[in-house]
Amino acid sequence: MISTDAGQLTAVHVGRPTSRVTPEGKSWRSAFVKQPTAGPVWLDWENLAENQQADLGVHRGPDMAVLGYSADHYPLWRAELDLAELGPGGFGENFTIAGQDEHSVCLGDVYELGEAIVQVSQSRGPCFKISRRWNRPDLSAESSTPAGTAGISGCCSLGWWRLDDRPYPRWTVRRAADTLQLRKRDPAAARALLECEVLGAGGRRDLAEPLLRSVP
């Protein structure tokens, strides 16, 4: 069963690339550590105002304008990892959303956020920088970040999201993520996901490469 109830945007976070050092002395650069915004924030085609990505070779484009994560996951993570400080923004997301997660949101879902409109474009797999951020080597393999979104210019405000459309009800973010992960083992499912017109460029590239290699 897929819920179509609109969730609530409870926090918006932004960040800029900074250089950091692991406890082992290894340097790394990331905008993963983000801070909450105060009041409405502008969203353009590729980013929120005051937000930047460190690796533009991977995180760039209108289908990666913002990253969303479910607020409902954080209590479990805090308990499992014994990290009391892990909360909204802790997994590098821009939008922290209560009442929805990767099982209830689908690719192509459209929401209104103040004057802005966003559409879910693809799933987002866990980044290795999650492990570095929280000094937990296995965390990136265990975690799952549920949604990337494509932005249309406007001013984002905290509040209720209104679901306008659901063109691809079969493609929950969780199912899309699983299909991407298993694309080499299940080419039929990969081809089906490629037919989803709103799928972002990164997902299309990841799906197409093994399919092209499989063509005799």
Report the CATH number that the domain containing residue 111 is assigned in CATH.
2.40.33.20
Name the pLDDT band for 213 (thresholds 50, 70, 90): low
- Number of structural domains in the chain: 1
Owning domain of residue 154: 8-169
* Tens digits of residue pLDDT in 164-173: 678 999 999 9
pLDDT for residue 54 is more than 70:
no
- Look at residue 135 and tell me if it is in a domain: yes
Whole-structure pTM value: 0.85
58: helix, coil or strand? coil
- Look at residue 137 and tell me if it is in a domain: yes
* Tens digits of residue pLDDT in 148-201: 444 445 666 667 777 767 899 999 999 999 999 899 889 999 999 999 998 988
- Look at residue 207 and tell me if it is in a domain: no
68-69-74 Cα angle (round to 5): 160
Mean pLDDT (the chain) is 81
- Which residue in this structure is represented by tokens 């799933």? 123
113 in Cβ contact with 154 (< 8 Å):
yes
- Alpha-helix runs per DSSP H in the chain: 74-81, 129-134, 139-142, 173-181, 187-194, 201-214
Q: Is 102 left (phi over 0), alpha (psi -120 to 50) or beta?
A: alpha
Q: Per mean pLDDT, which range of 52-56, 98-102, 117-121, 211-215 is the poorest?
A: 211-215
Instruction: Count CB-CB contacts under 10 A for residue 178.
Output: 17
